[in-house]
Structure formats: C-alpha cells, structure tokens
Amino acid sequence: MAMQFYASPEQIMRDRSELARKGIARGRSAVVLSYAGGVLFVAENLSSALHKVGEIYDRIGFAAVGRYNEFENLRRAGVRMADLNGLSYDRRDVTGRALANAFAQTLGAIFTEQSKPFEVEICVAQVGATAADDELYRLTYDGSVNDEPGRMAMGGQAEAIAGVLKSHHRPDMSLGDAVKVAVQALGSVGGEGGAARTIAADQLEVAILDRGRVGRTFRRVTGAALAALLDDGEAPAASAEASTAAADSTEAAERPDS
C-alpha cells in the first residue's frame, strides 16, 4: 500500500502563495493611475499581439501581470458578465466594484480548491466624473481585493515602482505628464546594478479611460501619438483620432460574444 504524505493546510497555502508570487515577480510590471483626463494604463510589454491591458465595459478597464492565458480567461469572463448585466438591467448597473468582487470570488475559489493557483495580479479600474471619483481595485492571486488611492503598480519590483509613483503622481496631471511619470517609474528598476533604464515606445502598451468620452471610454495610445507623448508630452490631434479609431475596431474584435 502506498504511503500518503501529510502536509498541514497552512503549509499547503504557503506553498501555493510562494508559487504564485514567484510567477508574478518574473513578469514585467504594469502601472495604473488617475490623471486629469481619466485613468491611464501603462504596461511594459514586448509582444504586440498579447495585451496586458484591455476593455471590459463602457467606463471600465482591466490590466494584469502574470500568466497571460490565466488573466485573459478572467478578462473574457468579466466581459461576458458585464454584457449580461448591462443587457438584463441597465448599462449603469455595471460597476467596477461588482466586477472586482466577482473576480475576487473566482480567484479565491481557485486558490483554495485547486492544486495550482492562478499566477496573476490584476487591476479593475472605473473612470469617474472627476479624478476623486475614479475607482482602482487591485486583486491578487488569493482573491484579496484592495481599493487603491489613485495609483498602483503590479508585478516585478512593484514596491519600488510604487514608491516612484507616490513621489511624482498628482491627480491633476495632464496625459503627457502622467505617461512620463508612469514610464519613469517602470524604468526606475531593472537596470544594471540597480540603475534606471530607458524603455522604448515599442516596448510599452498604453491605454486610457477617457473621462470626456460618452459611452465607451477605452482607447489605446499607439504609434505617433505615443511617441509624441513620450517626447514632448502632447499628442497630435490627428494621431490621437487615428489611435482612437484603431482602438475601437481592435477592441470590438477582441470582445467575446455575449
């Protein structure tokens, strides 16, 4: 008869936590913060096909670090839940808080019931009428959820990045200033000998929830618009409009059927 090895529940939970934390730490970081015009998402991403940042609903966005297949499954489930609630009741009934609670329940159940937890850390953000009304929720691999104060960093050396954000972030910043602060924070770690490094525009994934837009507020900032923001802090109007149109068509293609 084979012997059954015993491990205490506490040891099992510690092992699962360590596995998840190591998996998340290996990934490149992402930053989410409020600014005067909305909510900004900036992620270090070397792949142009696999997005760390995406849209969930009209005024709700999603960012994640860790295993792509795991957090993408969560995002798609969130899109379906939001669409169902919006069609069944009213679009205004779909909130970031409700989605964050749903994600927390799913992650908590996986962490306690499955042998392997999800190696993910995610942010659900909802843009409000003002920066003070923005909602940012951080969810970790074990289902814990925290309401963040207008800024947050995930993955890699998140604590060091969060320290830079705390020193430089202001809720009344322009988009250009907010992008520069986010990129500066991401580049403050990972260099040789702990030195700061420069992150090229083609290694960044940038998107916003635009406070001034009616209906769907999510759009990606790419190409010339992103380069202009990184260079002088202001995106040309034509580039911004092209970026918005491209983002709308891309996000429509990415959204799963309800």
Residue 237, pLDDT score: 45
Mean pLDDT across 27-46: 95
In percent, the amount of the chain with pLDDT more than 70 equals 88
Does residue 58 sit in helix, strand or coil?
Answer: coil
Q: Which two tokens stand for residue 80?
A: 């379906």
Bigger pLDDT: 238 vs 32 = 32
C-beta of residue 122 within 8 angstroms of C-beta of residue 62: yes
Q: Report the range of poorest mean pLDDT among 6-10, 77-81, 225-229.
A: 6-10
Identify the structural domains of the chain with CATH numbers, from first to last.
35-254 (3.60.20.10)
CA distance 120 to 111: 11
Residue 233, pLDDT score: 58
DSSP 3: P
C-beta of residue 122 within 8 angstroms of C-beta of residue 103: yes
Q: In the chain, where do the E strands start and end?
A: 30-35, 38-44, 53-57, 60-66, 120-126, 135-139, 145-148, 151-154, 204-210, 218-221
pLDDT digits (tens, 9 = 90+) for 134-157: 999 999 999 999 999 999 999 878
Mean pLDDT, the chain, integer: 88
- Say yes or no to pLDDT of 206 above 60: yes
Residue 9, pLDDT score: 84
Residue 254, pLDDT score: 55
C-beta of residue 22 within 8 angstroms of C-beta of residue 35: no
Mean pLDDT across 28-42: 96
Sheet holding 53-57, edge to edge: 53-57, 60-66, 120-126, 135-139, 145-148
Mean pLDDT across 50-71: 96
Residue 193, pLDDT score: 74
Residue 157, pLDDT score: 86
